[in-house]
Structures are given as structure tokens and as C-alpha cells.
Chains A and B, each alone.
Chain A
């Protein structure tokens, strides 16, 4: 049993070199019933040692944008436009073989559901070792030794004994550790974690998030954390991008965004979630449902659910929420929001 008093974490300054630049990324799925616009112009950068949280609900495009970066979307039906530059090289225009060289040592990814992401008929040691056999041409024996080493590193107890076990013999938290071991096997510069703890219990979630932070401190990798959990974002990330209907609607440091939201959607999310610190009064939900991506509302995609919308005569010229799409713009130092009336939301 350890009890750790985590000191008021000095968030690491993100002065490292830029690793990833995503610029105006669009992803659409062409289906018989129409075009589903999953990602509509997303831009962000990630520096060494930085943790960027991408916060959004289901259907906000947060996972699809990550899958586009990893190059694991099926094209077609998916159509990917824009640019994704990893250390200056555009991944969307390079050959499949070059992309393969980046996946693993450059960028790697862990998924939400570890059980269905692992192959049930191979031992975990074999699956972790595969990284070394395929990318580095290691022998089976070397690969197994390295797999044990990695399992130790992600704190799977009795690694040498468990290396030949199969995924079903592990608990949920341990399986997620196996996934993390595979993802960090080749010391990637960037790790994308897609809802890494959503399927886990809170005590296990805390263990896994601690592990990811420790690994980041050791290797200085950039971490993209995709989640819908406001608490996880607050405790783990440096900066946050809030997504809605395939767009980033707000971006800034976690401290800024969580202290004073600059977009009505972010504000609504914060008000609708109960907190463990206090019982709180009645919850203030966001009315309505998230939009259908095949028919995104005109103007600001959030306007049908927005409590602060201004339509027609109420709106300032060129800033009618129902017809004019608000761009993501600087609204305060280091803060960007895609709302015509963000200053009011911020209360500046």
C-alpha cells in the first residue's frame, strides 16, 4: 500500500519542440444515405512533453480526428483532407510504407476497450514482442525478453510468469497496461490515448493515469488524451481543446478554461456535471441532443441548444448565430473560442 501526497503538480512548461501540427483537418464519410461530416476543420499543435486533452461527447469527432492522425481510417468510405505534419513531414501525402515507419516509433495509440483491441488467440508476450519482431527484426527470444521488460515497466506484477498468459486471463486494468506496453514499446514521440480509462473503475483509472504521467515524465513524449471526463482533463492535461460537431469550439490551458469557460457549450458541460466535492443544487442540463453529423445545423452548430444564442434582430450584424458560422478566434490571451459572443460568456 502506498499513499502518495501528490504535490500541487507544477505543470511542465510546454516549451519543447513542436512534434505534431494538424491543420484544417476534415474527415467525411460518404454513405449511401448522404455525407457524414465527422471532422470539420480541426487545427492544433502538440509539443514535446505536452499533454493535450481533447474533450467532447460521442459524435463530436474527437476519436475520428485521432484515427485520421494514426492513419487507421478506412479510405474510402472516409475522405481525409487538410494536413497532418509529424516533425515537419505531411503524413497525408507520404507513402503507406513511410507512414508505417512512423506508426510505432513516431506515433502510437491506445484504445478504450483493451479486451477487443487485443488478439484473444495470442499470448500478451507475443503481442507485445511483435513490435520488436516487426519493426526491429528481433528474434523471438529477444522479443520475449523485451516484452517482459516492458510489462515490468507498466507495473504488471510477476511479468516473467505472466508473459505467456492470454488476454482473458488479465483484469481490465491489467489489459489496459498490456495495451500501454505495446504502445510505448518503441519509445514513441507521441502517444494518443483514446478514452484510456473509460471502461475502468475509478481506483484503476487513477492507477492507469498515474502510469501514463510517469511514462511521459521519463520519455518526454507528447500525449493526446481523448476523453469526455472533465475530471480526468483537469487532473492530467496542460491544455484542452473542446470539440462539438466536428469542430474545436474552445481551446486554452486547463486552468483558464475550467476556471472561466469562453464558449456556451463548455459552460453548459461544466454546469451539467455533478461534482464529488459537494452535493450541489439542481443540475442545469444542456437542452436537446447532440447534432446529427449528416445534418449539422447552419450557422453555429451549437445554436439550437445554446442558452445565449442571438438570432435575427437581436444579433449584431454578421453575427447571427443561426446563419453565421463563428470562427475560432482569440478572445483573451492564450484563449480561443468559436462563439460570436464569447466575451459575454467570459464575463470580460
Chain B
């Protein structure tokens, strides 16, 4: 086992060497990098062995709109099966959308090919949830981090690669002498740091973080969250932070989108979504989060949702949340509500959107 390696402030000093492309060359903060319009991914359901017939579709992602600007973190929350991981796979071009478009710096990713697609994949990197299964057990840490350079050789000349790898390891808080170790010699938190170093190696603009801390112990989660925040400041990175833990998402995100059954039901700044949620699902979700302060116990409205999430293969007509919603009326079954601002200051996909504070404010 390797000894614990604490993230120290001293490692930040080596930052400029590994700085991707230099923040100055990258353009102003706040510039729109990624624009997602009506994104859809329908997986076919097939029947038959020899002659496969399509008998239906799982609408994993069904009309998602989102914008990601340079230097910001957008949090995407939702429960399991809502399609948030499919969104992340679509973004890094591991899956092809069946509808809608992803515009990266104004260009449609679906129409990219050859060199343009290669460049896109370099600039949009991903960190996976499970640090145990996402690293190849037969490769050394150095090989894992440097692997991307065998495709994108122009980033690091061959003779510099060892040095660059060590700088990256140092930057993410690992001992640079560990380049020849294997993943099993590291703890969960350290493995997640390896995954982060691997993503950084290609000098990305955007990192899609798909549940990056949910497999980690509580005391280690904070280390990784802080590391991600530091890297963002140093390199001007943009994050799409996907998680089911509402507290972590509030902490790290500038804006938050709440997803239910393949589409986004509410979007806004972290303040808007958490203190004045206006979609019934967001309210129910927030009211279910257990609070940490004894004096706040029992001070919130608990909204207990009935039943389970419907199958994405057969979603309800109209509003998808109506089968579990206490506000549902006839219109909800016939007309799907648009994600627009209905006077709450931020968009909400509910015909009867109404701000309601469900999380008590800690006035200590």
C-alpha cells in the first residue's frame, strides 16, 4: 500500500508547466462553449433472435437543453435512471444522439468527422464514477496518464512525456515517483486522482464529471472536490458535474439543472434552485435530503412521493411527472410543459410552477 499522500498547497507551484494551452489562448471566461438543443437518445428495444424487430424505444434522453460557458460548473442532478449518465456519454461522443444537436464552439458535433472530431474528443474529457473499474489494472499509472498522447502526439513530445506525467501526478496530489505503480496499489481517492490526471493530460476545455465522488468515503470526497475546484481556477476549465448527491452539487455548481425521466424540469443558479424551487419534483427531491443540524430537524416540509419512476420505455403523456404529482390537472396529461420562466426568475417545466422554500435556512 502506498502511504497517504495529502494534497498540499505546495504542488500548485508547478502548475504553469502543465497548464493546458495557457489560459490566455483560450478565450474569455463566460463565453459559450457548449450548447445542447433538444438532445435525444432513444435506445431501440428489440425482439426476436434472427430477425430483430424494433418493438419500442427507451427514451433515455428526451429533449434536453443546456448551455455550458467557459469557466463555470453546471450541476446536473437526478435520480438513477433519469438519463444523466447518458447525457454524459453523448457529450463525450461515446454515444450518438438520435435527435437534437450538440454545438461546441458553434459547430455541430454530429457533423464533425476526422480531424475535427478528434480535436473535439481531446477538448472534452470525462472522469468516471468508479475509480476501480475505469482504470486498466494491467497498465502502470504513468501509461494510463500518458495514453492519450499516443493519439494526440502533438501535446507532449515523446522525450518530455515522463516529465509531463510526473508533473501531472504532482498537480493532482500524488507522489510523482508512483509512475510505475499499478492501480491496485492505490486507494479509491488516489485512483480518482489518477483519473483526473488522465483527463488533464489532454489539456481539455471541458471535463464531464460523471458522479466523480460518489464511490468515495466521506472524508476523501472533500479532498477530491477541493482538487476539482483548484484545477478549475488554475486552468479555466468548465465542468458538467453529474451527481445524485444534492449537497455536493450545490457546493460545487454555479448553475444547476434538475433532470427527471429524460428531460430537465428546472434550471437556475444554485441559489434559485435550492432556495426557491418551483417545480414539484425539485421540491420533493430537496425535501427528502436529510439535514445535518440537530436544531433544524423537523423544521422542513417533508414531501413524500408516491410510487416509482415510470419506465422510460413508456413515459406518461404530457408532463412526465404528473403520475406522481400532487398538483396534476387535466392539462398535465395532454400538454407537456415547456422549460420556461413562469415568473419565478428561472425556468421550470411545470404548468403550475410556484416557488416554495423546502430547505430551511440555517441562521446560526
Query: Do A and B associate with each other?
Result: yes
B221 touches A202 (CB 8 A): no
Known: A57-B219, A269-B218. A203 touches B250 (CB 8 A): no
**Whole-angstrom distance between the alpha carbons of A228 and B214 in the complex?**
12
Q: Closest residue to A244 on the B side, CB-wise?
A: B219
Q: State the Cβ distance, B269 to closest chain A Cβ, in Å.
A: 10
- Our pick among B189, B223, B229, B361 for the contact of A277 (Cβ within 8 Å) is B361
Stretch at the interface among B49-57, B134-142, B174-182, B290-298: B290-298
B361 touches A202 (CB 8 A): no
Q: State the Cβ distance, B320 to closest chain A Cβ, in Å.
A: 15
A202 touches B299 (CB 8 A): no
B297 touches A235 (CB 8 A): yes
B250 touches A274 (CB 8 A): yes
B226 touches A1 (CB 8 A): no
**Whole-angstrom distance between the alpha carbons of A207 and B285 in the complex?**
12
B79 touches A203 (CB 8 A): yes
B251 touches A6 (CB 8 A): no
Q: State the Cβ distance, B283 to closest chain A Cβ, in Å.
A: 10
Q: State the Cβ distance, B204 to closest chain A Cβ, in Å.
A: 24
Known: A203-B284, A206-B302, A276-B247. A171 touches B308 (CB 8 A): yes
Q: Closest residue to B2 on the A side, CB-wise?
A: A289
Known: A234-B294, A279-B250. A289 touches B220 (CB 8 A): yes
Residues in A neighbouring B306, C-beta threshold 8 A: 1-2
Q: Closest residue to A259 on the B side, CB-wise?
A: B294
Segment 244-258 of B: residues with Cβ below 8 Å from A? 244, 246-248, 250-251
Known: A203-B79, A275-B247, A283-B225. A4 touches B304 (CB 8 A): yes
**Whole-angstrom distance between the alpha carbons of A195 and B232 in the complex?**
34
Q: Does B303 contact A (CB under 8 A)?
A: yes
Known: A202-B288, A274-B250. A290 touches B302 (CB 8 A): no
Residues in B neighbouring A4, C-beta threshold 8 A: 302, 304
Interface readout for A214-229 with B: 1 if CB under 8 Å, 0 if not? 0000000000000011
Instruction: Identify which of A9, A230, A278 gathers the most chain B CB atoms within 10 Å of its CB.
Output: A278
Residues in B neighbouring A172, C-beta threshold 8 A: 80
Q: Does A96 contact B (CB under 8 A)?
A: no
Q: Does A255 contact B (CB under 8 A)?
A: yes
Residues in A neighbouring B247, C-beta threshold 8 A: 273-276
Q: Does A126 contact B (CB under 8 A)?
A: no
**Whole-angstrom distance between the alpha carbons of A284 and B286 in the complex?**
24
Q: Does B359 contact A (CB under 8 A)?
A: yes
A231 touches B222 (CB 8 A): no
Q: Closest residue to A287 on the B side, CB-wise?
A: B6
A283 touches B226 (CB 8 A): yes
Known: A2-B306, A287-B6. A275 touches B292 (CB 8 A): yes
B293 touches A276 (CB 8 A): no
B304 touches A289 (CB 8 A): no
**Whole-angstrom distance between the alpha carbons of A205 and B284 in the complex?**
12
Interface readout for B245-286 with A: 1 if CB under 8 Å, 0 if not? 011101100000000000000000011001000000000111
B362 touches A273 (CB 8 A): no
Interface readout for A30-57 with B: 1 if CB under 8 Å, 0 if not? 0000000000000000000000000001
Q: Does B289 contact A (CB under 8 A)?
A: yes
**Whole-angstrom distance between the alpha carbons of A174 and B309 in the complex?**
12
A3 touches B274 (CB 8 A): no
Q: State the Cβ distance, A230 to closest chain B Cβ, in Å.
A: 5
- Our pick among A231, A277, A288 for the contact of B4 (Cβ within 8 Å) is A288
Segment 279-308 of A: residues with Cβ below 8 Å from B? 279-280, 282-290, 292, 304-305
- Our pick among A173, A269, A278 for the contact of B219 (Cβ within 8 Å) is A269
- Our pick among B190, B298, B324 for the contact of A8 (Cβ within 8 Å) is B298
Top 8 closest pairs, chain A to chain B, by CB: A231-B290, A1-B326, A288-B4, A285-B222, A274-B251, A8-B298, A272-B222, A201-B79
Q: Name 22 A/B residue pairs within 8 A (Cβ), A-sorted.
A: A1-B325, A3-B326, A4-B302, A8-B297, A201-B79, A202-B285, A203-B305, A204-B79, A206-B302, A228-B218, A229-B290, A231-B292, A235-B291, A255-B294, A258-B293, A273-B222, A276-B359, A277-B292, A277-B361, A279-B271, A285-B7, A290-B217
Task: Name 15 extra pairs, CB < 8 A, besides A174-B308, A202-B285, A273-B222.
Answer: A201-B79, A202-B79, A202-B244, A206-B290, A258-B292, A258-B293, A268-B219, A272-B221, A273-B221, A279-B270, A285-B221, A285-B222, A287-B7, A288-B6, A289-B220
